[in-house]
Amino acid sequence: MSTALAPSRAAPLAAPAGFLRMFSGFRVLLPFAALVVLWWTIKIAAGISDEVLVSPATAFAAFVRLVDTGVLAEYAGTSLRMIGACAVFSLAVGVPIGFAVGVNRYAARSCEGFLRFLQGVSGIAWLPLVIIWLGLSYKTTLAVVIYTLIVPIVFNTMIGVRTIPENYVLALRSLGAGRLRLATDVYLPGALPSIVVGLRLGMGYGWRALIAAEMLVHSGGLGDLIFSARTFNQIDRIIVGMIVIGCLYIIVDRLIVQPIENLTIARWGVLRK
């Protein structure tokens, strides 16, 4: 028995890397295949009408149509550009603010409660007021998403700077380092893991705020796509939109946010959950 087992165990190791990758890809896709089978079975067995739930085939046909006409690319492009612009802006503005607040313990003490409060009022709650101020345009969406993203980034940058042991700062200072040197050699590396935590949380909140704002502002984007489809009861479009939203978020998270996080942890070795 053991002799029979041994070769079969060794086999995958000897197999080419391409096969292994195919196998792991299959493992990822298998649950989704099971879900589609379940979806199709329920659709047929319960005799649900297309008004309530379309079959996977109809949804796929809608996907092909949306891709063919270029509608999907345009709506997805709008959403991606929006979240990208907001993330870059929030990092560029939020991190320096977080540093400025974090280095001074009086400033940190005074801003902590305020930032917590801002985080409590979700960006989307300001939407009705921002619509009055900026109208039903992409500017409204931009303002709401930036608000949602920047608050956790400022907050976590500040926390990150506060948790750096003061001795590091004192040591560098006594060796004659200036403010700029302190920022690049102590504050930035020390606070980076915390900044990334803030970015990740902000992206989680921000992506959802973006979709919600697009639903209400109706000026393009995936949220607009699925919410307008609701008006015409196009279930196939809604489902395609939802799947695209999910996939895009996973891609953004895995391809951009997580590598930064891994890099930070690998380089500075501050492990966080």
Q: By CB under 8 A, name the binding residues for another protein.
A: 27-32, 35, 51-52, 106, 109-114, 116-122, 124-129, 131-133, 155-156, 159, 163, 194, 197-198, 201, 204-205, 208-209, 211-212, 215-216, 226-227, 229-230, 233, 235, 238-239, 241-243, 245-247, 249-250, 253, 271-273
Which of 65, 71, 76 minimizes the C-alpha distance to 222?
A: 76
Give me the least distance between CB of 126 and another protein, in Å please: 6
Q: How many CB atoms lie within 10 A of CB 123?
A: 25
Give me the least distance between CB of 244 and another protein, in Å please: 10
With respect to another protein, which residue has the nearer C-beta, 53 or 177? 53
| C-beta of residue 54 within 8 angstroms of C-beta of residue 229 | no
Burial class (CB in 10 A: 0-12, 13-18, 19+), 138: middle
Distance CA(183)–CA(31), nearest Å, equals 47
Give me the least distance between CB of 176 and another protein, in Å please: 31
Which of 150, 136, 144 minimizes the C-alpha distance to 82?
A: 144
With respect to another protein, which residue has the nearer C-beta, 95 or 127? 127
With respect to another protein, which residue has the nearer C-beta, 105 or 179? 105
Give me the least distance between CB of 3 and another protein, in Å please: 26
Backbone phi and psi for residue 69, each to the nearest 5 degrees, phi listed first: -80, -10
Distance CA(183)–CA(187), nearest Å, equals 5
Which of 161, 249, 242, 140 minimizes the C-alpha distance to 205?
A: 249
Contacts of 39 (CB under 8 A, 6+ apart): 53, 55, 56
Give me the least distance between CB of 227 and another protein, in Å please: 5
With respect to another protein, which residue has the nearer C-beta, 142 or 147? 147
With respect to another protein, which residue has the nearer C-beta, 186 or 203? 203
Give me the least distance between CB of 31 and another protein, in Å please: 5
With respect to another protein, which residue has the nearer C-beta, 109 or 181? 109
